[in-house]
Amino acid sequence: MFLQAIDILGTIAFAISGVSIAMDKRMDAFGVLIIAFVTSVGGGTMRDVLIGLTPVAWMTNMTYVYVIFAATIFTIIFRQKINYLRTSLFLFDTIGIALYTVVGIQKGLAIGLHPIICIALGTMTACFGGVLRDMLCNEIPVIFRKEIYATACILGGVAYFILSQFPIKENVIFMVAGSVVITVRLIAVKFKISLPSLYRA
**29-58: average pLDDT:** 94
Q: Provide the domain count of the chain.
A: 1
End-to-end alpha carbon distance in the chain = 52
**Which of 41-45, 78-82, 107-111, 165-169 is least confident?**
78-82
Q: Which residue has the higher pLDDT, 27 or 198?
A: 27
Structural domain harbouring 57: 2-190
8 Å CB contact between 9 and 99: yes
Is residue 197 domain-resident? no
Sorting pLDDT into bands at 50, 70 and 90, what band is 196? confident
Alpha-carbon span 165 to 48, nearest angstrom: 26
Is residue 198 domain-resident? no
Residue 84 has pLDDT above 70, yes or no: no
Query: What 3-state class would DSSP assign to 153?
Result: helix
Alpha-carbon span 71 to 50, nearest angstrom: 27
pTM to 2 decimal places:
0.88
8 Å CB contact between 104 and 123: yes
Sorting pLDDT into bands at 50, 70 and 90, what band is 105? very high
Residue 200 has pLDDT above 70, yes or no: no
Q: Which residues of 31-59 are buried (b: 16+ CB within 10 A; e: fewer)?
A: ebbbbbbbbbbbbbbbbbeebeeeebbbe
Is residue 119 domain-resident? yes
Is residue 127 domain-resident? yes
Residue 87 has pLDDT above 70, yes or no: no
Q: What is the number of residues in the chain?
A: 201
pLDDT of residue 146: 63
